[in-house]
Each structure stands twice: as structure tokens, then as C-alpha cells.
Amino acid sequence: MTAQPTDIATYNFAYLDEQTKRMIRRAILKGIAIPGYQVPFASREMPMPYGWGTGGVQVTASIIGPDDVLKVIDQGADDTTNAVSIRAFFRKVANVAVTTETAKATIIQTRHRIPEHPLSSGQVLVYQVPIPEPLRFLEPRETETRKMHALEEYGLMHVKLYEDIARHGRIATTYAYPVKVEGRYVMDPSPTPKFDNPKMHRSPALQLFGAGREKRIYALPPFTDVVSLDFEDHPFEVQTFDQPCALCAAENVYLDEVILDDHGGHMFVCSDTDHCEKRREQGHRGHLAPETPSALEKTEPAQ
Amino acid sequence: MYVAVKGGEAAIANAHALLADRRRGDRSVPALRLDQIVEQLALGVDRVMSEGSLYDCELAALAIVQARGDMIEAIFLVRAYRTTLPRFGYTKAIDTGAMLVERRVSATYKDLPGGQLLGPTFDYTHRLLDPELAAGGDVAEPLQRASEADAMPRVSAILAREGLIEPDGDMSQDHIPGDITREPLEFPMARDIRLQALSRGDEGFLLALGYSTQRGYARNHPFVGEVRIGEVELELDVPELPFAVPLGSVRVTECQMVNQFKGSAKAPPQFTRGYGLVFGQSERKAMAMALCDRALRATEFGEDVVAAAQDEEFVISHTDNVQATGFVEHLKLPHYVDFQAELDLVRRMRAEHDARENAGRAEEKREAAE
């Protein structure tokens, strides 16, 4: 196209106007002050659809500054389409440095995973949350669930978990597994696999949760107690895999199943792509690893 | 051999280039100009302004062409822009009684002050496709005459004089209206907030809900007191100035629905109101909104809440098409981490199930053998 763009529409640094950022920061501060409590906020329309990370994007847009280094993952990977899109968005509207390396990022926005590399003090993990209310599928009405939280009335959730055991012999919740925060609020950890729940417990990083469509923000300040709900005779357990990563031979990490052919052939690889690449650079080899690891630029500075 | 793919960025860029190409279509066909859309697809522009909650014909037209005519996508584009605009004030409430009316019809009175004014309506057109239009035939210039400038009092005001209709809300005069674009929604909500949500709600969703009330799901015996379309003046109070400053005018459609009401423990027999107001010209939307508004007032009148259209949380939580389309379509995003967790669980449960079956069969065999 040769036509010059007109100034018919212009945008602020990190897209949101400063009034909105202030409003969101207030909600974040309130969330930090009451760990696990869902703070209502006046969520904005974002330039990506609701349900595609607008809550996380609003949180990130409100806390990001020109010196931040941003990492965005979806399903643990930096290269899934939506992660690429959100990273490109912040490159465009805030011109910040981006990275795929967990350790180098100051802000990590995530959907469905917590990185395998332990987070450190000073880092912020921003979760994209579809349905922030852990009680929603037990009670569809917001007016009711808010009362239940206020009265700490979580019997329904325990009944649900008990019914799972009665029916299936185990708690049949594998992701978005409910947690209790600082012994008070039952919280939805977002649809991360329960494998990641223990990483939330007393993490030195600040964890922020944004639900755009549902207009809620909640937070876990560093070193907050986060305990997965369970029973004495049915203690909480994380998923285990029978085989290591086929590319980097990592064990005790979360794996994706990749279908190789149409005769049932499959392999398991790390869901956290950065972790997998790092291990291969260090010389770890899985049984299906290619000979030469790809050398990729992992950090792009601000332009 | 499987190699982890790093192609997301290039794939997205290529997809968008293809989208741009498809959007433009055959280059030998002249590109649409925004003024053509504003002038000739005006009702589409109105819908985008109304549900996009931004009164700007040019931006709405840009959104429509950028969205390839997908209205919800266009509404989304407009919303995502308007939300970044700083607020510098709130206008005074518009006075639809002082509207420069282009169309006004009442179904409750044969004639009334100001008269019935059909205006530019599809009503009574025969829906026959027009080959002349396809051939680009010219349309005669309209006849114009001086406005009679008669006041056109609202039908609800006429009814109110006899005390037959409920008063126009019980909010105090100093009530400051809420703003759903600046404050989080909370349930139950006041009617001003609810009306805002309905006004930007999805036309199709409200149409279906309004229709459901007519078919007996929370029937509320509606009559169109009136529908009026026209320009209303906007005024802003500026702190330094002793008078309100006119900002210009906007075109709106207002529907006052008059509903029969037998009375209840809480309220005497009287006519009740359902109200609809939207940007631009959209009677369908304004009328559907008025039906839903009345249905949602059930608890106010002590009516039983028995149908979807009366359920505030249900209606308001699901009426926003930008939210709805986002969440429905997000199912396209990768979910393989969660799916893996479910696969693992189902495999384990299947294995246990098969083991139990096999054990049962072995048991049967053993018993049969004995």
C-alpha cells in the first residue's frame, strides 16, 4: 500500500491510557494486599479478543516500563502463535526488549504454564485467566460465589473433590486445580496443569492474575502460602511421566505429547521450550534429539 | 524425526498478508472509500457505533471495511480504540423530547401532538430485490419543506399526565449515572447501569430474548408507546462557564414500550415502562432493548423470575458480543497442556476400568468352571 496512514487514530505507550493504568495498578495493589482475593476492575477492551489473554495483557501493560524485558509463553512455549502475537504487540506499542530466556525476563506473561526454571525475586509472573472464580462451575451466580468467599464457605468445593474420589477413585481435576491461599481464599490457579501448583507455593516472584472478560485481578505476593486442596487419605499429587523428554532427556518436567504418524507413534517433549533448549545447549540429549541444536537469538533489545 | 518448530512469527505475518490481500479482493474493482460506506451503508455504520459505543461515522466505516464487513469484528475494532481515549467529561442528559425528529410512530394512539411521521423506514416496503439498484440507477433528489417545528411530546409524558403509567424511575435527581466502561460490573445492578449494558449489547441476542418474552417466556404485554429517530443536541457543563456548552448533535433511536401490568403486592395496576435508546437508526435494537429492560425489572414489580430474559446476571453477562465472540473463539487457541493432563487421566482410568473388566471376566469363568 502506498497511501500514507492518517492520524485518524493514535495510541499511548503500552496501549492503555494512563488513567486506566492507574486504575489497574490500584486493583493490583489491592490484590497484593489480600492474597487470593478477586478484585473487580473496570477491564478494558483490548486489541486482541476477550479470552485470548486480555486480562494478562492489561496487567502487563500497566506494570511494564521501557527498561523491562518481557517473555511471553503459551502452553510453556515462546513460539506458539498467541505468545508470538502478544510479544509482538508489546514490541509494537511499548518497544520493550523481549526474550525467551526465563532467567533474563523481568516480566513473564503466561498462559497455562509456569516455567520449569525457578523464578527469582524481582521477577513478575503474569497469568492469563479465563474464569477466575474457582467456584463458578459449582455455582454459576456471581452474587452467590462472592458471598461464599466472604463467609469462607468452601464446603461445596470439598464435596466436589470428595464426589470425584467416590466416583473415580481419585480427584479427577488435572488442571485449574483449586488452591487455598494463606489459609483463607480458595483460588483458581488459572488452567495450568496441577503439575505447576507446587511452584506457586512460596515463590520468590510476584504472581499476578488478570481475567479481562470476567473483570477480575488477583495476586500472590512473594513467599505466599499456596496449598492445593486435598484430603488426608487422598493427598494432592502432581502428574508424573513414564519417560523423559525425547529431545533433552529431562525428567520431572511437564511434557507434551507429539503425534509422529498415524499408526500410534508418539513422543514426549518438554512443554517449556526454553528449558528444553537450555538443556540441549548444555549437551543433554534425548533419544530422538537432532544432531545439531539450533542456535537461536533469544533476546531482542528494545529498538 | 520431530524437530521443535519455530515458525509462529513468520506464519502469523504471512497469514496477515493474505488477509490483507483477501480483504482488498480483485484490484481491478475500485477500493471502497469511507464516505461511500458512511453514506450508503449507514445502518451498518450505526450498528457499529451503537454496539461499539463510539459515535464516529468515519471510524465506524473504517472498522467495517477493515473487518471485511464482519460487524462484530468491526464493533470490536471500535471498542478497542474508544477504550484508550481519555475522558474529559460527561455531557448533560440528552432531551429526546426536544429531538429534531425524522421518524416517530406510536402504536398506542391513532393521532397525537406532533403526529405520526413515517420517515425513512423499511416498513411497508415490499421486499422485492431491485434490479434497478443493481444497475446503479439514479435516485431522485428528495423534496424538502420547512420544518413545522411543532413540539413532539413523548407518549409516556402524555400517559403520565393521567397517572396511568408508572413514574419515570425512582432515582433521585442528584443520582450520578454509573459508567460501565470505567467501573467493574456488579450484580445486582441499578437500572442506569443495566440500560448502558443493554444499549451496547448484541442486537441479535437482545432480539432473541425480546422475542422470547413475546412468546410467553416472561410475557409482559408490550405496546410501542412510541419509537422516534432523530438528532439530539449534546451539552457539556464546563466548570469555568455559567452555561452548558453545546458540543454538537448525535442521531439516536428511542423506544418507549408501554406494558400492561395488573398490579402486585408491591405496585398498583398501571402501565409500566420498558426503555430502549441506541446510537443511530436501529428500531429493531431499541425495541428489543425495551422489551428486555421491562423483563429485567421483574423483581422491582414483585414478578416471579421464571425466564431467561428476566435474569439480570444471565442477560447482562452474555449480552456483550465482543466478550462472547472472544471467549467462544478462544477455543481455537492451543490447549494441549491441559489436554495432555486430561489424556493422562483418561488413560489411567481406562487402564483401571479394563483391569476391573478382565478381573470380572476371569471371576465369571472361574465360577462357571466350578
Chain A residues within 8 A of B332 when measuring between CB atoms = none
pLDDT of B161 reads 85
Cβ atoms of B311 and B304 closer than 8 Å: no
Distance from the B118 Cα atom to the nearest Cα atom in chain A, whole angstroms: 36
Asked whether this complex has an ipTM greater than 0.85, the answer is no
Distance CA B208, CA B183 (A): 28
A159 touches chain B (CB under 8 A): no
CB contact under 8 Å between B12 and A81, yes or no, is yes
Specify the DSSP element, H or E, that contains B227.
strand B222-237
Could you state, in order of their start, the residue ranges of all structural domains in chain A?
18-228, 240-290
Asked if residue B341 belongs to a domain, the reply is no
Asked if residue B15 belongs to a domain, the reply is yes
Query: CA dihedral defined by B160, B161, B162, B166, rounded to 10 degrees?
Result: 20
Distance from the B313 Cα atom to the nearest Cα atom in chain A, whole angstroms: 7
Distance CA B314, CA A140 (A): 9
Comparing CA positions, the residue from A208, A62, A55 lying closest to residue A124 is A208
A20 touches chain B (CB under 8 A): yes
B84: confidence class by pLDDT, cuts 50, 70, 90: confident
A18-228 architecture in CATH? 3-Layer(aba) Sandwich (3.40)
- Active-site choice (A36, A53, A76, A210): A36
Cβ atoms of A108 and A124 closer than 8 Å: yes
Sheet with B272-279, edge to edge strand ranges: B100-105, B222-237, B244-259, B272-279
A294: confidence class by pLDDT, cuts 50, 70, 90: low
Asked if residue B201 belongs to a domain, the reply is yes
Chain B residues within 8 A of A20 when measuring between CB atoms = 83-84
Give residue-wise pLDDT tens across range B133-189: 989 888 999 888 877 767 788 888 888 888 889 888 778 888 888 999 988 888 999
pLDDT of A114 reads 97
Strand segments, DSSP code E, in A135-242 are: 179-181, 185-187, 206-211, 216-220, 226-228
Q: Beta strands A107-111 and A124-128: pairing type?
A: parallel
Domain count, chain B: 2
pLDDT of B6 reads 57
B5 touches chain A (CB under 8 A): yes
Q: Which of residues 113-152 of A touch B (CB under 8 A)?
A: 113, 130, 140-143
Comparing CA positions, the residue from B266, B261, B236 lying closest to residue B248 is B236
B184 touches chain A (CB under 8 A): yes
Q: Output phi, psi for B362, to 5 deg.
A: -60, -40
Cβ atoms of B117 and B230 closer than 8 Å: no
Q: Which residues contact B49 (CB under 8 A, 6 or more apart)?
A: B55, B56, B57, B60, B78, B279, B280
A59 touches chain B (CB under 8 A): no
C-alpha cell at A198: 507446587
Give residue-wise pLDDT tens across range A179-233: 999 999 999 999 999 999 999 999 999 999 999 999 999 999 999 999 999 999 9
Q: Output phi, psi for A56, to 5 deg.
A: -60, -40
pLDDT of A1 reads 43
Asked if residue B353 belongs to a domain, the reply is no
**DSSP at A62:** H
Cis status of the peptide bond prior to B188, with omega within 30 of 0: yes
Do B24 and B108 belong together in one domain?
no
Residue of B nearest to A13 (CA): B84
Specify the DSSP element, H or E, that contains A147.
helix A142-150
Do B109 and B183 belong together in one domain?
yes
Distance CA B174, CA B176 (A): 6
Q: Which domain holds residue B26?
A: 11-82
Do B192 and B162 belong together in one domain?
yes
- Active-site choice (A31, A76, A245, A286): A245
Question: Is A36 known to be catalytic?
Answer: yes
Q: What angle do CA A241, B333, A124 make, to 5 degrees?
A: 75
Q: 3-state class of A126 per DSSP? A: strand
Do B173 and B280 belong together in one domain?
yes
Give residue-wise pLDDT tens across range A67-110: 999 999 999 999 888 999 999 999 999 999 999 999 999 999 99
Span between the terminal Cα atoms of chain B, in Å:
54
Neighbours of B66 (CB within 10 A): 14
User: Which of B62, B83, B329 has its CB closest to that of A45?
Assistant: B83
Do B237 and B262 belong together in one domain?
yes
Do B47 and B173 belong together in one domain?
no
Q: Output phi, psi for B140, to 5 deg.
A: -60, 150
CB contact under 8 Å between A143 and B80, yes or no, is no
Maximal CA-CA distance, chain A: 70
pLDDT of B3 reads 46
Do B243 and B313 belong together in one domain?
yes
Q: 3-state class of A227 per DSSP? A: strand
Cβ atoms of B280 and B254 closer than 8 Å: no
Neighbours of B309 (CB within 10 A): 26
Question: Is A264 known to be catalytic?
Answer: no
Residue B324 has pLDDT above 50, yes or no: yes
Residue B4 has pLDDT above 50, yes or no: no
C-alpha cell at B188: 445486582
Q: Which residues contact A90 (CB under 8 A, 6 or more apart)?
A: A14, A60, A61, A64, A70, A72, A96, A98
Chain B residues within 8 A of A50 when measuring between CB atoms = 322-323, 325-327, 330
Mutate to test the interface with B, among A7, A16, A28, A50 (most CBs of B within 10 A): A50
Distance CA B94, CA B238 (A): 16
User: Which of A42, A85, A239 has its CB closest to that of B184?
Assistant: A42
Distance CA A218, CA A208 (A): 6
Do B48 and B158 belong together in one domain?
no
Asked if residue B361 belongs to a domain, the reply is no
Residue of A nearest to B11 (CA): A81
Distance from the B261 Cα atom to the nearest Cα atom in chain A, whole angstroms: 29
Asked if residue B6 belongs to a domain, the reply is no
Asked if residue B365 belongs to a domain, the reply is no
Q: Output phi, psi for A166, to 5 deg.
A: -60, -40
